[in-house]
Every structure is written in structure tokens, then in C-alpha cells.
Homo-oligomer: A and B are copies of this chain.
Amino acid sequence: MTSNAGRALAHPSREEIRVEGVLHALSDPIRLRIVRQLAHDADELACSRFDLPVSKSTSTHHFRVLRESGVIQQFYRGTAKLSGLRTDDLDTLFPGLLDSVLGAADLQAKRLAADARTDAPETAGLQG
């Protein structure tokens, strides 16, 4: 069998996605980071392409939370598992939600980076 259908992954249907679950999935820093990378870098990435500060087991856990809450879809291709945002489903169910969360995360990242630049040089003197 050359098909990848042997390993099917459970996804919630569009109707089963709940806004509370989506918000909860996005409220973890690691998962938010995954989603931001998916949104910015590519539509579909293998899990191994993410450089996360946790073990593989923990990564698997976070990807599963994202998938089971309806934020991402996953499928196998060879030994790799590719992940992509369920942009269409989310935009249909909750228009603008994903974009504003991603925008908020970007703004916060910029703000925190700027804070670090203004804080550090004076006191600590350590910079990247």
C-alpha cells in the first residue's frame, strides 16, 4: 500500500468546533507559537520542522490538543505528519477570530521585544 490512509487521525467536524476549545487551545504559549509559525511560514509543516523547547512527547500532546479542538488538521505523508491551520473552517465559524488572535500575538511579541531592548542595555547589558 502506498496510501497513507492506514493511519487516520480523528478530527472534529466543523460543527463540533467550539469557541471555548479554540481559545483554550490558543491560550498555551507553545501552542500559540505553533499556530503562529503555521500562519506565517507555511500552510503545511511537518512536526519535526518546529523547534520547540519541549520533548517530542510533549509536542505530540500539544499538536493533538490543537487538532482535537479544531484549530489544525493533520495527515500523514510517509513518515512525516503534516499540520496545517483549518483556516476555512475557523473563518466560517468565527469570522476574524483567528486573524485577531494572530495579530494580537504578533503585537505582543513586538512589544515584549521592544521592552527587552529598552530594559536590558541599561541594567543588565545583555543583548541578542
Number of interface residues of A (CB under 8 A): 27
The answer to whether A23 touches B27 (Cβ under 8 A) is yes
A98 CB to closest chain B CB (Å) equals 9
Would you list which residues of chain A between 80 and 128 have a CB under 8 Å from chain B?
A: 93-97, 99-101, 103-105, 107-108, 111, 115
Q: Which among A29, A93, A101, A111 has the highest number of chain B CB atoms within 10 Å?
A: A101
Within the oligomer, what is the number of copies of this chain? 2
A114, B86: Cα distance in complex, Å: 24
A23 CB to closest chain B CB (Å) equals 4
A103, B96: Cα distance in complex, Å: 9
Cross-chain contact of A108 among B24, B93, B104 (Cβ < 8 A): B93
A56, B19: Cα distance in complex, Å: 25
Contact with B along A46-72 (1 / 0, CB 8 A): 000000000000000000000000000
19 contacts between A and B (CB under 8 A): A19-B104, A19-B105, A20-B28, A20-B29, A20-B32, A21-B27, A23-B23, A23-B24, A23-B26, A23-B101, A24-B24, A24-B27, A27-B27, A94-B108, A95-B100, A95-B107, A96-B100, A96-B103, A97-B104
